[in-house]
Amino acid sequence: MSAKDDKDCGHHEDDYQQFLRRLGIVLLILIIIVGIIIFIVWAVLRPSKPHFILQDVTVFGLNASVTPNLLSLDLQVTISSRNPNDRIGIYYLTMDVYGAYRGQQVTLPTLLPSTYQGHRDVVVWSPFLSGDAVPVAPDVAMSLQQDRNVGAVLFNVKIDGQVKWKVGTWISGRYHLNVNCPAFIKFGNPDRAIAIGSAMKFQIVQSCNVEV
């Protein structure tokens, strides 16, 4: 190979490297522009978190023992979620709902079906929550017995899940969703309950705390 051929080969390699650098710069600029557009759209729309409401709680069974410290609970709850956004949809993913009492989980988690919620739409779930002979701290079992004797028990219905936001054709990454719905059940107030066989259905209509 002559010196001229070596020079031409080196020139072509320089051109190719320069082309790759320019292509990389163009791609980087495009990525930055797309990111800026997405940020502007996101900032303008400013998605609001969904509004959750605990509609009612049906108690099928509730028992606690102190020797040993066990709690058994069977509930069905009705929870609604409203999307307050005009232009943003919400994908609900891997939504686990469970019952808690005095900070301790007392039912197994129930997986809610994944769903898409359009603009201003309302979604309603009615999952069953149950825990059979769940070991609890001694003070938890004693407190539940005392609350039952008084005629009022404060449970918490909690949701641990993930959501995605949808703006036009763009879909965001996953965001952690925490929902806490206080359920103040007054067993001693028959006016707030409906007998369904051996079960009691309590109308709650309580707003929930939502963190995204």
pLDDT band at 206 (very low <50, low <70, confident <90, very high): very high
Q: What average pLDDT does range 177-202 have in this prediction?
A: 85
Q: Token pair 């309580």 is at which residue?
A: 206
In the predicted model, is pLDDT for residue 93 greater than 90? yes
d(CA 174, CA 168): 17
56, 125, 133, 143, 173 from 154: Cα distances, Å: 13, 21, 19, 11, 35
What is the per-residue pLDDT for 77?
97
12, 26, 64, 165, 167 from 170: Cα distances, Å: 41, 22, 49, 8, 5
d(CA 3, CA 60): 92
In the predicted model, is pLDDT for residue 194 greater than 70? yes
Q: Token pair 């072509």 is at which residue?
A: 12
164-188 tens-digit pLDDT: 999 888 888 899 999 999 999 988 6
What is the three-class DSSP state of 14? helix
What is the per-residue pLDDT for 1?
53
Task: Give this prediction's pTM.
Answer: 0.77
14-68 tens-digit pLDDT: 677 787 888 888 899 899 888 777 776 665 557 889 999 999 999 998 888 877 8
Query: Are the CB atoms for 90 and 165 separated by under 8 Å?
Result: yes
d(CA 188, CA 37): 57
Phi and psi at residue 31, to the nearest 5°:
-65, -40
Query: Are the CB atoms for 166 and 106 separated by under 8 Å?
Result: no
Average pLDDT of the chain? 87
Q: What average pLDDT does range 105-122 have in this prediction?
A: 95
Q: What average pLDDT does range 192-206 have in this prediction?
A: 85
